[in-house]
Structure 1
């Protein structure tokens, strides 16, 4: 789908971010504009920072997962990156705030990832997994 697919997913991800903000997770959004901007920033951060973050965490990941033999550990490191990107986006976008710090980042990133994957799949805008929906 490429660029067109991403552009079609953008308002869906913004809507999902608004849904996450309504949940009692400590994620706050000032407006739909803040949600649109946040969705773009999360996607761009995922695109630009995924490789450096994976390189930075490569040694701890290799040791903890026995070189990838223990799949849940690999999954955990992907979630750590997702939470880092979500928290970073909240610090970069005015109107996007994590009220309870790390716990809001963790819960918000999980909810955002799962709901994005579900909505995008239901709308037929792509075949994305939960981690890919978060930008990882």
Structure 2
């Protein structure tokens, strides 16, 4: 349970960091970042397997590179569902935001002294 809470907080902080960079991702408050992190987690659990199943031929043909587009779709869906979380440049903001979310999350988890 504690690890779930830590992942939630780290993802929220990552979203706030991304919103401060010139990526076109806008989040109005920390509360909206917390809600966005929950929505991204739920979409990852529910929608990502379906998207991955239907886009598997493209993922296979691009040696996994298309999986980045799947991440961007999940990111854009989260922005569509949460008020206060918007994408200024549409898909391109979602693509940049999804890439940065993975990078910043992994960086923050490397810096945190957490044992799994």
Normalising by structure 2, we get a TM-score of 0.91
Residue 29 (1) aligns with residue 32 (2) = no
**Aligned counterparts of 1:46 and 1:12: Cα–Cα separation in 2:** 16
Of 53, 59, 62, the match for 1:61: 59
**Aligned counterparts of 1:80 and 1:50: Cα–Cα separation in 2:** 11
Deviations 1:37-94 (A, max 9, x none): 00111111111112111111123334x25xxxxxxx21x1221111110000000001
- The secondary structure found in structure 1 opposite 2:47 is helix
Structure 2, unmatched stretches of 5+, are: none
Structure 1, unmatched stretches of 5+, are: 66-72, 128-136
CA RMSD in angstroms, aligned pairs only: 1.6
Q: Which has the larger radius of gyration?
A: 1
Normalising by structure 1, we get a TM-score of 0.78
**Aligned counterparts of 1:125 and 1:9: Cα–Cα separation in 2:** 11
